[in-house]
Amino acid sequence: MLGRSSGEGRAVHLLERFTGKTPVRSVDDSLLLYHQGAGAHFCMGRLIKIISDKLIAMFGILASVPFMVLFGLAIKLTSPGPVIFRQERLGLHEKPFVLMKFRTMIDHAERETGPKWAGEHDPRITTVGRILRKTRLDELPQLFNVLKGEMSIVGPRPIRKHFADILAQDIPCYRLRFTVKPGITGWAQVCGDYAGSHEGQREKFEYDLYYLRHQSLYLDLLILCKTVTTVFRLRGQ
CB-hemisphere CA count at 13 Å for 145? 29
Whole-model pTM?
0.86
Asked if 85 contacts 178 with a C-beta cutoff of 8 angstroms, the reply is no
Specify the pLDDT at position 46: 84
Asked if 34 contacts 95 with a C-beta cutoff of 8 angstroms, the reply is no
Domain annotation covers residue 186:
yes
Domain annotation covers residue 2:
no
Could you tell me the residue range of the domain that residue 35 belongs to? Answer: 31-232
The span from the first CA to the last CA of the chain, in angstroms, equals: 32
Domain annotation covers residue 110:
yes
Residues of the chain with pLDDT under 70: 1-9, 11, 28-42, 112, 119-120, 193-197, 233-237
Domain annotation covers residue 6:
no
Residue burial 190-226, b: 16+ Cβ < 10 Å; e: rest? bbbebbbeeebbebbbbbbbbbbbebeeeebeebeeb
Specify the pLDDT at position 236: 53
Domain annotation covers residue 15:
no
Q: What is the pLDDT of residues 109-133, one digit of tens each?
A: 877 677 777 766 788 999 999 999 9
Amino acid, res. 125: I
Beta pairing, strands 152-154 & 183-185:
parallel
Specify the pLDDT at position 40: 56
Query: CA–CA distance from 114 to each of 106, 158, 162 (Å)?
Result: 14, 19, 10
Domain annotation covers residue 21:
no
Domain annotation covers residue 127:
yes
Number of domains in the chain: 1
Domain annotation covers residue 23:
no
Specify the pLDDT at position 1: 47
Q: Read out DSSP for 14-66?
A: HHHHHHS---GGG--THHHHHHHT-HHHHHHHHHHHHHHHHHHHHHHHHHHHH
Specify the pLDDT at position 123: 85
